[in-house]
Structure 1
Amino acid sequence: FPPSRLNSFGRDERKVDSRTIYVGHRPCPATEALIPPKFCDNRIVSSKYTVWNFLPKNLFEQFRRIANFYFLIIFLVQVIVDTPTSPVTSGLPLFFVITVTAIKQGYEDWLRHKADNEVNKYLVTVLEDGRRACKESEKIKVGDVVEVVEDETFPCDLILLQSSREDETCFVTTASLDGESNHKTHYTVPDTERNLESLSATIECEQPQPDLYKFVGRMHIYRNNQEPAVRSLGPENLLLKGATLKNTQKIYGVAVYSGMETKMALNYQGKSQKRSAVEKSINAFLLVYLCILVSKALVCTTLKYVWQNRPGQDEPWYNQKTQKEKDTNLYLKMFTDFLSFMVLFNFIIPVSMYVTVEMQKFLGSFFISWDKDFFDPEIQEGALVNTSDLNEELGQVEYVFTDKTGTLTQNNMEFIECCIDGFQYKYADSGTELDGFCVTDGPGNILQQKAGREKEELFLRALCLCHTVQVKEATGQGDGVADCVEDQVDGVMGLDGETVGPADLGGFIASSPDEVALVKGAMKYGFKFLGMESKNMRVMNRNNDVETYELLHVLNFDPVRRRMSVIVRTKSGDTMLFCKGADSSIFPRVRQEEVDKIRMHVERNATEGYRTLCVAYKLLSREEYDQADTGLREAKLALQDREEKLMAVYNQVETGMSLIGATAVEDRLQEEAAETMEALQGAGMKVWVLTGDKMETAKSTCYACRLFQRSTELLELTVRTLVDLGRKREERLHELLLDYHKRAVQDAPPIKAGVTRSWSSANQDYGFIIDGATLSLVLNSSPDSNSSCYKSLFLQICQNCTTVLCCRMAPLQKAQIVKMVKNCKGSPITLSIGDGANDVSMILEAHVGIGIKGREGRQAVRNSDYAIPKLKHLKKLLLGHGHLYYVRIAHLVQYFFYKNLCFILPQFLYQFFCGYSQQPLYDAAYLTMYNICFTSMPILANSLLEQHICMEVLMDNAALYRDVAKNAMLGWGPFLYWTLLGVYQGLLFFFGVRFLFSNPALQDNGQVFGNWSYGTIVFTVLVFTVTLKLAMDTRHWTWINHFVIWGSLAFYMFFSFFWGGIIWPFLRQQRLYFVFANMLSSVSAWLIIILLILLSLLPEILLLVLRKPRGPHSRQVLSTYSDTISFKYLKGVTTLQNTS
């Protein structure tokens, strides 16, 4: 089935592909013989491999990687063609890389198999022919009636038929699905609560689709051969697989979707693979070295045949070519020789670098998880790493996109004040005077006997009725309503009057902390919501009288409508609609004179950073209610276009309302939010705030976080600024974009590379503000002469602003903004951070996604690359860990190419002195073990433990982050330096040893060394030089560094003695027998080895001596002058630190 057909609605009514389910597999009366429809079983399969396909499938996937495929070709060439080196020299490293990767992937898939089996083999209770029977979860079929008890997860998608609660509801948490940890209320289908054993019913519902919040269906209930009763089914009746039953002893439900057709399974998809800038640099460097490799092979092949064309020159005798081989076609021989030279020089491409990089990323990610500074005692959790492939990307971030609510703020709502009929009411502990209304020391006495008391009480009743908050069953032993209320008040309010957080809601269950804050706000003024009782809402007023309202309909909140309503009936028979929502949604639906009284308070509260909601009501006549009731019932029974029909009824009934007042709820800033944002800007990052909140509230938050300074000139592009009588919005938009572009881009002085405007007092700081409606005009502009350049102008303006605020944003627009910046010129590295489900789109779109373990659930955490408990931890994650990770892996990559160039250059030079005979300079054992054993562990340890600057200095000096920005250490300049260093040392190794061999007598007995002794001396100098070079680059020494560096050198010495000191029967030729021991017995060999090592490291030694700072240590300088030191001096000190 095509999910897209069910995810979007068109204007024309569509056909919905539906399925029919027989409850309990019982046929319905007056129907033909039941032919059970075929649905999939309830098995969940998240694994990738099986025992039978693991080997071929894994090998196929690994050899799709270009590097692995290249080395496979080299290995096959060695097997097929007569090459100078053994196939073992390339086959063994390739086998090592493939094996390590296969073990890692196989282990991960085994864990998935284990998790699948735990779910599939879980025992579930099912009703069969009136009996309770246990069966494994994977054997559940669509139509089975399943029993689930409290704290159990639902084994498949169920329609709720019966609940142990008297109000015919149940509570669930969907944290494992959408990350929302709050309790959600679900309702039984009417007329199915009793006699499940004899229930005869069919369900007609849509085919499986992945949207967790959409479900349409209807149930036909047959009783006593009468016409079937039809009941609508919606998301409130559907219990999703993976959700957990809470605060309900037991429920029964019928399975409608099973196995891989459940919404959880349909939403299971791996995140798209993100590639870091380091990986792109590696690929670019590999291309350069591949060109070098091909060039070397071509040069040697050409010179070989030029040399053999001389009189008397032929194929060397030791190559053992037969006459038939010598008479082979010239071009075929040239091609074969070209492949042989490719094999001889292929070690310039470091195959082991890939597995080393993978190990460095995997092991390095544990340092984030283990960092105690990331541990939050409130939630008893630390940082989480969901992917280790982007560690170094944390040190390259240029743009930070952040959500506001729950990220910059705490998402811990507290009711601050309200405005009723134009008058302000603010709760206080001591007596004050507010707009003529006396506020006493008791919350119950705040509202006094005034003429407007009826409207004030109507407002507070609206707060107590217009919500979806539930009250937990009382656990106290007190009798009567008063005792119950006291228990609830003590739970909601702290002893000092402070509001308790959502983790301790004192008996309230809600899906949104805003709703709990409003209910608690009403309690401050004397109106208390007591909960539901048989579809009746109970409210205690100021006089401790309990009022009962029949709940007729709930018009649920929708992000498009941005409001929610309830329709209730009073004891006197009046039908009332109460509505609350955003001011932009409520104001157009009430009388304008009422708006004027409230608007000023709403805007003032938003400017102060409070979240505001407006409250309205409407007294429905009998005709209006009957029309709305009929429309709602018909719309809920529709299988086609149900949402559009419901929306039409909502819009019809929510008109002509009377505005009562507005509320202000405070969402306080996160701990150290301002310091964190200031540090990010100081590090050269540009911060964009993307929020669905109103502009005034978001702008106030930006000022509080120091993203906007008082000196910042704000450029506003919103619906309000586009209003110009007599002119089209597009014309006004074009005019403003050109004006802002002239001020922020054309007339602004150029910014120095790496310096943001916030660090330059000589330049004017600009901040940009845009709302969602205007952004749609910019991004979706028509392709005419004026609007075609909107997007380009907008982007250029934003790039020259220190902070950009995008308010009233939809989740899709957040992702569009991130994608636009990510794909702009220069391809800057982007980071998105958020805590809610509406932030998932931008988290997935950015190069790096950060989830906050906040109060809006864990969906952002589950979809992120990294998760942290609080916003303040972002500072250390980027400025500390990110900086070090990038420096470590950049050094690892450059070092690998450098040491392989040093390794293979003498091999290339040797061909000029052996008649281009493809004679290897090194023994096969050295060729095989150079990258695997002799030089790999020291660089791995260095790339995990190195700290060229200590973490504290990096945290205190944000500008140090700029030293490594824009992939500075993996640019072509550093790459050229490392390449030239490798060429210099490679030349020195070869010609230095050749100078030694110019002496005819190298040993005391007058004997001379052979070619294998020549190669062994070169290899010894090589291993010691590249290892000591790494030791000189190490700034932070640990016992592990000492162990692997000196241990690797000791192992090389031991292996050379061991390998050359024993006659190995399995070797056809033992070229190194006694060579190493014989070499070390020569004083000349000792002298040349020590001398060449010193000469090779001389440039590095001179750099250390000449650039060593005089005076205080660089860390002391940084710590002492961190507040006033200039960026230029910081860069210089850092350079000195890197070489000190």
Structure 2
Amino acid sequence: MLRRTLNRLLGGDERRVDSRTIYVGPHSCSATEAFIPPKFCDNRIVSSKYTVWNFLPKNLFEQFRRIANFYFLIIFLVQVIVDTPTSPVTSGLPLFFVITVTAIKQGYEDWLRHKADNEVNKYPVTLLEGGRRIRKDSEKIKVGDIVEVIEDETFPCDLILLHSTREDNTCFVTTASLDGESNHKTHYTVPDTEKDLESLNATIECEQPQPDLYKFVGRMHIDKNDQEPVVRSLGPENLLLKGATLKNTQKICGVAIYTGMETKMALNYQGKSQKRSAVEKSINAFLLVYLCILVSKALVCTTLKYVWQSTPGQDEPWYNEKTEREKNSNWYLKVFTDFLSFMVLFNFIIPVSMYVTVEMQKFFGSFFIAWDRDFFDPEIKEGALVNTSDLNEELGQVEYVFTDKTGTLTQNNMEFIECCIDGFQYKSQDANSELDGFCVTDGPVNKLQQKAGKVCVMVFLHLLQKSQSATYGHYIEREELFLRALCLCHTVQVKESTEQDQSQENVVDQVDGIISDGNVGQPQQEQRGFIASSPDEVALVKGFEGIVLISLFFCLLRYELLHVLNFDPVRRRMSVIVRSKSGDTLLFCKGADSSIFPRVRPEEVEKICMHVERNATEGYRTLCVAYKILSADEYAQADAQLREARLALQDREEKLTAVYNQVETGMSLIGATAVEDRLQEQAAETMEALQGAGIKVWVLTGDKMETAKSTCYACRLFQRNTELLELTVRTLENGERRREERLHELLLEYHKKNLFLQICQNCTTVLCCRMAPLQKAQIVRMVKNSKGSPITLSVGDGANDVSMILEAHVGIGIKGKEGRQAVRNSDYAIPKLKHLKKLLLAHGHLYYVRIAHLVQYFFYKVEILIHLMYLHYRFKHHVLP
């Protein structure tokens, strides 16, 4: 009993199990057993390295781990202990200066971290205790406390969402400080907790703290008076992370589940690996070479001394005559002492001042990039950013550039261009075009076009044409079904604005998607804002904004949202299960062609495949749309399996994926969409200039091959007379494994990897498609570790590019629309891709020339001085009698 109590007090039980138990509200226990609450860490954040007590020993230990500092320390100790020809001040003073300056710099940076920690830890927060609102410092939050957060505030710890002021029991957050994504994300309250927080009595079982921002599993047992406890599943959609910011929601309340250094943000405090430039590595290599030269010269001089003294009459000079005790000392000790004396005499062959000068040159040289007005972008009102000055000269030695496509080569500014429904193409027409008698510029149609996209107008007019030429039966038209699918299958939310705007918006439900305005002829005075996690979804929803899609009798359609099968990069699709007013249960699915085609009938693929390939060739981003009618038994089975999987504490993601794959089979393909993403400004000129400088450009993208090839042609990476070598085993139509799986296998098998590398290194440009983020890093690592160790550079703008940015010798972040995570993890950040040309070909070249001349000058200076001393010694003792 005592051991169990001690383990619970010291947190031993928690370390042995895979989950933790958190009590919310008063906890009832039997009269014979006292309740001992679990011990969790407090909410203090500590990002500093030193304290007042350990700063001196810890900092000295870290500094003397450097070879150069340790070498000069040994030389100084030799000068102090042994009778040497030079004063210890000659080595001790420069070493003291270097150590002191570095310690002051690191101490100041750590003091800033202490200051930032105190600002976070002392930030006032509101807690709900016993029905009262109490203000406390953030560091005093404990696990199980209920915290209140208002709009635009940052969450002080990881919270489970219990209550929101929004009517749909949701809230919106931005996680730009965590993963760099600036898009609004939707989170949901736990059912049965939002009504009465004061009397809430619940128990939470969840996983132990782990750093993955996107994974969380748990369940909540809610106790009700005289009723069985209600069990609710908890997932990432219920978890509000510390560091995220509440947006577009007046107020929320949540229970603290992870605090302090156990929050996901704190667990992701892992520092980036230290990058060293090729020049710095060369200096360290030269250090070993010059150390060998120093030892050899000391050995030669020591040998010559004893050879000279072995001649009769040639002994120590009269002013250096030794005592009898010194003369009778051990001969080997005298030789070793003389050897150390010569080492000290020639020790400045390794200049201690060079390291200080190089560091100062790098530090002040980095301001040239920040001050360059050519890097200023008036659109975002920002210039270039230098996150590290240690790699300035590396910019001038880059041999391989690895670049992302979406958002880097292209603008990531999506516009809905066209769609294909059952093989019939609907494309944006000119202003004076007609469709079978319906003129786009006619009265209300023209006003409709101002509200909706041109593609929507063409589909709508086609529906009107059918309704006039044929009797509309009870079956669902494919065009109408396609529009319904796009209006329902998304996660877009309408952003709240002024009350006047809200009164004009007649949105029935978050899944209505089909917007009725009542008056098509009057355009909105203000643009409606959308909140989404993907620019593709915003483009599609904007394309249908304002369209009056009804069942051709102008009656409003309502759907009940039953389940959302969320998108993830592995599935490459998302689905919704909805129920219509008539009781029909439908599944709508939207995703990449490689993910949708294997799940529909082959004869339907033939109608759409040609249009998808053509759109990809023209550089458009395509999505395929499918649907499935679920019977009552099928839905009951899927509903039970989904609820069971969401309640699982172990392997929840795998169980959900298995259910998703089971439900998303036997679908019917409706059509496909095409979204245009234009090239970045001067992207083609930049790529052409880099290739002209002898730099090889590799494009690593998760997009399909046809789309990426079109972008490479537009960027002049591929020429029309370029011979293309496609490394694909079999095509998708043959039913073989997916290309990304084959590429992953290719990277893992050693002999195939070498063959792949040899082929790619002989190409002028390499394009890798269907790449996952980790596969991008594998490609960079493979080239970086190849023969000759070429200097690599990675450039990207999104969170999926961080892995390859960190892997390359130099990482460049683009300040784009996909968040700032790439910028924060990069070594240098630039507003646009076009600035890469001057950064490499001008600044990088000049940095390399400057530091190369500086290092050569230092070694030349000490070599001249040492050789003069050495030759003088030999001349004096061997030429003169």
TM-score normalised to structure 1 length: 0.70
Q: Does 1:185 align with 2:207?
A: no
Which residue is 1:888 aligned to?
850
Q: Does 1:789 align with 2:790?
A: no
Q: Which amino acid aligns with 2:341?
A: S
Q: Which amino acid aligns with 2:836?
A: L
Q: Is the 8 A contact 1:27 1:200 kept in 2?
A: no
The superposition leaves residues 644-672 of structure 1 with CA deviations (integer Å, 9 ceiling, x where unpaired) of 11112111111121111110000111111
Which residue is 2:312 aligned to?
311
Q: Is the 8 A contact 1:189 1:233 kept in 2?
A: yes
Which residue is 1:1105 aligned to?
none
Which residue is 1:1106 aligned to?
none
Aligned-residue offset at 1:903: 2.5
Which residue is 1:775 aligned to?
743
Q: Does 1:518 align with 2:540?
A: yes
Match of 1:831 among 772, 793, 802: 793
Q: Which amino acid aligns with 1:159?
A: I
Q: Does 1:909 align with 2:863?
A: no
How many angstroms apart in 1 are the aligned matches of 2:86 and 2:527?
73
Which residue is 1:276 aligned to?
277
Match of 2:496 among 458, 461, 473: 473
Name the SS for the 2:93 alignment partner: helix
The superposition leaves residues 290-336 of structure 1 with CA deviations (integer Å, 9 ceiling, x where unpaired) of 22211221121111111122222221222353232222222211111
The superposition leaves residues 654-698 of structure 1 with CA deviations (integer Å, 9 ceiling, x where unpaired) of 112111111000011111110111111111111111111001000
Aligned-residue offset at 1:259: 0.7
TM-score normalised to structure 2 length: 0.90
Q: Is the 8 A contact 1:401 1:830 kept in 2?
A: yes
Name the SS for the 1:615 alignment partner: strand
Aligned-residue offset at 1:907: 2.4
How many angstroms apart in 2 are the aligned matches of 1:891 and 1:706?
36
Name the SS for the 2:253 alignment partner: strand
How many angstroms apart in 1 are the aligned matches of 2:646 and 2:561?
17
CA 92–200 in structure 1, closer or farther in 2 if over 3 Å, else same: same
Which residue is 1:457 aligned to?
480
Q: Does 1:678 align with 2:688?
A: yes
Match of 1:560 among 557, 565, 570: 570
How many angstroms apart in 2 are the aligned matches of 1:562 and 1:481?
35
Q: Which amino acid aligns with 2:490?
A: H
Which residue is 2:325 aligned to?
324
Q: Which amino acid aligns with 2:223?
A: Y
CA 273–95 in structure 1, closer or farther in 2 if over 3 Å, else same: same
How many angstroms apart in 1 are the aligned matches of 2:136 and 2:62?
38
Which residue is 2:811 aligned to?
849
Bigger radius of gyration among the two:
1
Cα RMSD (Å) of the superposition? 2.8
How many angstroms apart in 2 are the aligned matches of 1:703 and 1:121?
55
CA 809–623 in structure 1, closer or farther in 2 if over 3 Å, else same: same
How many angstroms apart in 1 are the aligned matches of 2:601 and 2:353?
73
How many angstroms apart in 2 are the aligned matches of 1:499 and 1:913?
96
Q: Does 1:900 align with 2:867?
A: no
How many angstroms apart in 2 are the aligned matches of 1:591 and 1:489?
28
CA 624–484 in structure 1, closer or farther in 2 if over 3 Å, else same: closer
Aligned-residue offset at 1:188: 0.4
Q: Which amino acid aligns with 1:417?
A: E
Q: Does 1:89 align with 2:57?
A: no
CA 470–709 in structure 1, closer or farther in 2 if over 3 Å, else same: same
How many angstroms apart in 2 are the aligned matches of 1:703 and 1:549?
44
Match of 2:762 among 800, 806, 811: 800
Which residue is 2:5 aligned to?
none
CA 349–436 in structure 1, closer or farther in 2 if over 3 Å, else same: farther
Aligned residues: 834
Which residue is 1:971 aligned to?
none
How many angstroms apart in 2 are the aligned matches of 1:645 and 1:848?
40
The superposition leaves residues 899-941 of structure 1 with CA deviations (integer Å, 9 ceiling, x where unpaired) of 112233222233236659xxxxxxxxxxxxxxxxxxxxxxxxx
Which residue is 2:388 aligned to?
387
Name the SS for the 2:574 alignment partner: strand
1:723-1122 to 2 correspondences below 5 Å: 771-781=739-749, 789-912=751-874
1:175-214 to 2 correspondences below 5 Å: 175-214=176-215
1:414-453 to 2 correspondences below 5 Å: 414-428=415-429, 430-433=431-434, 439=440, 441=446, 442-443=448-449, 445-446=457-458, 447-448=460-461, 449-451=464-466
Aligned-residue offset at 1:480: 5.0
Q: Which amino acid aligns with 1:683?
A: A
CA 255–402 in structure 1, closer or farther in 2 if over 3 Å, else same: same
Name the SS for the 1:634 alignment partner: helix
Which residue is 1:603 aligned to?
613
How many angstroms apart in 2 are the aligned matches of 1:145 and 1:92?
58
Q: Which amino acid aligns with 2:265?
A: M
Q: Which amino acid aligns with 1:633?
A: R
- Give the unaligned 5+ runs of structure 1: 1-14, 491-496, 528-539, 730-769, 782-787, 917-990, 995-1140
How many angstroms apart in 2 are the aligned matches of 1:436 and 1:298?
100
Which residue is 2:712 aligned to?
702
How many angstroms apart in 2 are the aligned matches of 1:109 and 1:92?
25
Aligned-residue offset at 1:813: 1.0
1:542-691 to 2 correspondences below 5 Å: 545-691=555-701
Aligned-residue offset at 1:619: 1.6
Q: Does 1:507 align with 2:529?
A: yes
CA 542–261 in structure 1, closer or farther in 2 if over 3 Å, else same: farther
How many angstroms apart in 1 are the aligned matches of 2:438 and 2:710?
28
Which residue is 2:366 aligned to?
365
Name the SS for the 1:713 alignment partner: coil
Aligned-residue offset at 1:790: 2.0
Aligned-residue offset at 1:544: 6.5
Q: Is the 8 A contact 2:161 2:239 kept in 1?
A: yes
How many angstroms apart in 1 are the aligned matches of 2:57 and 2:502?
71
Q: Is the 8 A contact 1:220 1:229 kept in 2?
A: yes
Q: Is the 8 A contact 1:590 1:656 kept in 2?
A: yes
Which residue is 1:336 aligned to?
337
Aligned-residue offset at 1:365: 1.5
Which residue is 1:953 aligned to?
none
Aligned-residue offset at 1:451: 4.0
Which residue is 1:1136 aligned to?
none
How many angstroms apart in 1 are the aligned matches of 2:437 and 2:689?
46
Q: Is the 8 A contact 1:717 1:771 kept in 2?
A: no
Which residue is 2:239 aligned to?
238
CA 514–32 in structure 1, closer or farther in 2 if over 3 Å, else same: farther
Q: Which amino acid aligns with 1:508?
A: F
How many angstroms apart in 1 are the aligned matches of 2:733 and 2:599?
21
How many angstroms apart in 1 are the aligned matches of 2:401 and 2:565?
37
The superposition leaves residues 251-287 of structure 1 with CA deviations (integer Å, 9 ceiling, x where unpaired) of 1100110111100011111111112111121122222
Name the SS for the 1:228 alignment partner: strand
- Say which structure is richer in helix: 1
CA 479–835 in structure 1, closer or farther in 2 if over 3 Å, else same: closer
Which residue is 2:722 aligned to?
712
CA 716–276 in structure 1, closer or farther in 2 if over 3 Å, else same: same
Aligned-residue offset at 1:633: 0.8
Name the SS for the 1:165 alignment partner: coil
Name the SS for the 1:774 alignment partner: helix
Which structure has more relative contact order (CA 8 Å, sep 6+)? It is 2
How many angstroms apart in 2 are the aligned matches of 1:837 and 1:660?
32
Q: Is the 8 A contact 1:426 1:434 kept in 2?
A: no
Name the SS for the 1:557 alignment partner: coil
CA 402–157 in structure 1, closer or farther in 2 if over 3 Å, else same: same
Percent identical: 82
- Give the unaligned 5+ runs of structure 2: 1-15, 468-475, 516-521
Name the SS for the 1:477 alignment partner: helix
How many angstroms apart in 2 are the aligned matches of 1:479 and 1:148?
24
CA 32–706 in structure 1, closer or farther in 2 if over 3 Å, else same: farther
Q: Is the 8 A contact 1:125 1:134 kept in 2?
A: yes
Q: Which amino acid aligns with 1:775?
A: L
